């Protein structure tokens, strides 16, 4: 009898642990453009601003809503858009709003009002904030592996012009967001200002190369595998470009330390995912990665590849995730980090921020710690 009771309790625990809920989001009032299509973008759909599966449907009058089914318990962040982040919701006077947050522990139904849209207001010019150490190498740098062109940025340490030293190189994705508020989608990382200060304190200098993301192709270029929702994976070709086209170019034009122990890659979300993949594909080219808030949920087969991954040049991996991202973020990161912990001589750093959210503000705050760890 005791055994039956125990099994019953255990089954209840399993059921609760794997419970899936429905979240109903209803917009009851829309300040303008109420006849336009409205979507919800959040950490449950990788912040896709025009995901047809998350399009609000008319409910009568001005009310529109969407039901998100089979969602696991956890904390979720989202915003409403009209198909792009140039048309994201704002305050009534056009200011940006913080991510909307919702905690799911049971079925949820919440009502919202949209006070304004970003494109309702004249674009306030953003400041050009890149430091003098930042230059644009090319606005149309060729990616032969994908038959596309891309803007490439470079940050050179202050000592570069007055010395003959060679420097390590850190390659970073989503170049729009690294140095310049004017080009950043939702705030910049401030990599240049951070390194200007840190390099004076630590004496550890580094070149940073930023590669713009491909806009609507970002989900493809940063994913090595085909995906039913987002289409063909182009991650293998993208990291081929980094290793076999961009790095040789940078090494030929700038004074770099060319060895694997001086060459790194970093990014956030899908950029974190592709950074890890780049090291796994080219362990003799990239000696380490900054893996910020990685979107491992989209690539479950990457765990199997990580288990099988073997290299004679043990890399350094810095894993970071925030506690206020999706429910899967921290467990997924831990699962991947633990795979590498078991391998001989790998250097692993795993960081969880209890209040961290999925945005540039928190990645910017973590970047200095990553850089100091990487350079040491």
CB 66 within 8 A of CB 25: yes
pLDDT in tens, 36-94: 999 999 888 888 899 999 999 999 888 999 999 998 888 888 999 999 988 999 988 88
Per-residue pLDDT at 5 exceeds 50:
no
235: pLDDT confidence band, cut at 50, 70 and 90? very high
pLDDT at 269 over 60: yes
Q: Give the span between the Cα atoms of 287 and 272, in whole angstroms.
A: 15
Per residue in 48-69, is it b (16+ CB within 10 Å) or e — as a string? Answer: bbbbeebebeeeeeebbbbebe
pLDDT of 368 higher than 60: yes
Domains of the chain are 20-120 (2.60.40.10), 134-375 (3.40.50.1820)
Helices (H) and strands (E) in the chain — how many of each? Answer: 9, 17
Residue 267, SS3?
strand
State the average pLDDT over residues 151-155: 98
Percent of the chain with pLDDT over 70: 95
Q: Which pLDDT belongs to residue 16? A: 42
This prediction has a pTM of 0.76
Closest by CA position to 350, among listed 306, 309, 316, 319: 319
Rg (CA), the chain: 22
Average pLDDT over the chain, rounded to whole? 91
Q: What percentage of the chain has pLDDT greater than the value 90?
A: 75
pLDDT of residue 131: 95
Residue 15, pLDDT score: 41
The pLDDT of residue 9 is 46
């Amino acid at each position: 009898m005791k055994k039956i009771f125990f099994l019953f309790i255990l089954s209840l625990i399993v059921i609760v642990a794997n419970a899936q809920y429905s979240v109903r989001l209803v917009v009851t009032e829309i300040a303008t453009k109420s006849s336009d299509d409205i979507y919800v973008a959040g950490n449950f759909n990788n912040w896709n601003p025009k995901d047809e599966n998350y399009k609000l449907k008319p409910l009568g009058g001005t009310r529109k809503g969407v039901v998100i089914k089979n969602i696991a318990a956890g904390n979720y962040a989202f915003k409403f858009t009209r198909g792009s982040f140039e048309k994201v919701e704002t305050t009534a006077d056009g200011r940006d709003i913080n991510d909307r947050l919702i905690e799911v522990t049971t079925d949820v139904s919440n009502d919202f009002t949209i006070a304004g849209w970003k494109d309702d207001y004249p674009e306030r010019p953003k400041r050009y904030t890149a430091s003098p150490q930042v230059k644009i190498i090319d606005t149309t740098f060729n990616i032969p592996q994908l038959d596309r062109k891309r803007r490439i940025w470079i940050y050179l340490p202050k000592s570069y012009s007055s010395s003959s030293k060679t420097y390590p190189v850190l390659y970073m994705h989503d170049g729009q967001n690294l140095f310049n508020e004017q080009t950043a989608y939702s705030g910049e990382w401030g990599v240049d200002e951070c390194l200007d200060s840190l390099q004076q304190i630590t004496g550890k200098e580094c070149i940073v190369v930023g590669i713009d993301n491909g806009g609507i192709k970002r989900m493809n270029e940063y994913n090595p595998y085909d995906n039913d929702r987002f289409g063909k994976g182009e991650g293998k070709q993208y990291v081929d470009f980094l290793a076999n086209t961009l790095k040789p170019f940078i090494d030929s034009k700038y004074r770099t330390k060319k060895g694997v122990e001086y060459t790194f890659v970093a990014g956030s979300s899908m950029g974190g995912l592709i950074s890890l993949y780049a090291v796994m594909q080219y362990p003799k080219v990239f000696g380490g990665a900054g893996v910020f808030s990685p979107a491992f949920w989209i690539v479950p087969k990457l765990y199997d590849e990580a288990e099988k991954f073997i290299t004679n040049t043990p890399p350094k991996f810095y894993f970071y995730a925030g506690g206020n991202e999706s429910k899967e973020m921290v467990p997924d990161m831990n699962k991947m980090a633990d795979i590498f912990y078991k391998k001989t001589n790998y250097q692993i750093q795993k960081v969880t921020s209890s209040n961290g959210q999925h945005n540039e503000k928190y990645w910017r705050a973590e970047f200095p710690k990553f850089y100091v760890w990487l350079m040491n």
